[in-house]
Amino acid sequence: MDRDHAWLLMSTQRVNDGRYSVTDRKQALQFLIHFIGDITQPLHNENKAVGGNQIPVLWDGGKTNLHAVWDTQMVQKAAGGYSSAVITSFTNELIAAIDSGIYASQKASWVSCTNVATARECALTWAQDANKLICAYVLKDDETDNELNGAYYTGAKPYIELQIAKAGFRLATYVNNLAAAA
């Protein structure tokens, strides 16, 4: 079990545990939110080159690594920036796609594992789902030293949007289930 899975399990256990202070339980919820997002990012579930951190690439001509590009640059570009207004607009677009758009028929499968009593199994299920993208796209070709803000980004954008939609929908369902278990 890697770091994200372990933290998800520990955070799930602590959120509703009255033996911990409100501050500790709040922090556990913050970690839980963070790690559900991390588990959905494909390179957080990959050992090759330390999850892409050791694969040098270019973004807008600047040197960076594949992990950073998937974590930050491509997400910000897909959203259209990183201001609160831009992120709110991007989020609303994804919510619409989940509710009645391109993801509506898929969303039930995204939350087939959201039982807080099986946090470990759910984390592994979500990680395996994200890891499928490693061979399908993320590391399909050797991108070492390539510029990724072009054709690679264009091909990645649908996967990025899908993974963010999954993470948000899973998070909402999981937190609702956690609250119901309190």
- The mean per-residue pLDDT over the stretch 54-70 comes to 97
Q: Residue 125 has what pLDDT? A: 93
Residue in 62, 70, 86, 50 with CA at minimum distance from that of residue 138: 70
pLDDT of residue 58 exceeding 90, the answer is yes
pLDDT band at 45 (very low <50, low <70, confident <90, very high): confident
Q: Residue 47 has what pLDDT? A: 86
Q: Residue 3 has what pLDDT? A: 60
- Contacts of residue 105, defined as CB under 8 A and 6 or more positions apart, other chains included, come to none
To the nearest whole percent, how much of the chain has pLDDT over 70?
97
pLDDT in tens, 76-133: 999 999 999 999 999 999 999 999 999 999 999 999 999 999 998 999 999 999 999 9
- The mean per-residue pLDDT over the stretch 137-144 comes to 96
d(CA 73, CA 64): 10
Neighbour tally for 140: CB within 10 Å: 11
pLDDT of residue 6 exceeding 90, the answer is no
pLDDT band at 144 (very low <50, low <70, confident <90, very high): very high
pLDDT of residue 165 exceeding 80, the answer is yes
**pTM summary value:** 0.93
pLDDT of residue 7 exceeding 80, the answer is no
d(CA 36, CA 4): 8
Residue 63 burial by Cβ neighbours in a 10 Å radius (0-12, 13-18, 19+): exposed
Average pLDDT over all residues of the chain: 93
Identify the weakest region by mean pLDDT among 4-13, 36-45, 121-130. 4-13
pLDDT band at 2 (very low <50, low <70, confident <90, very high): low
pLDDT of residue 4 exceeding 60, the answer is no
Tokens of 28: 């556990």
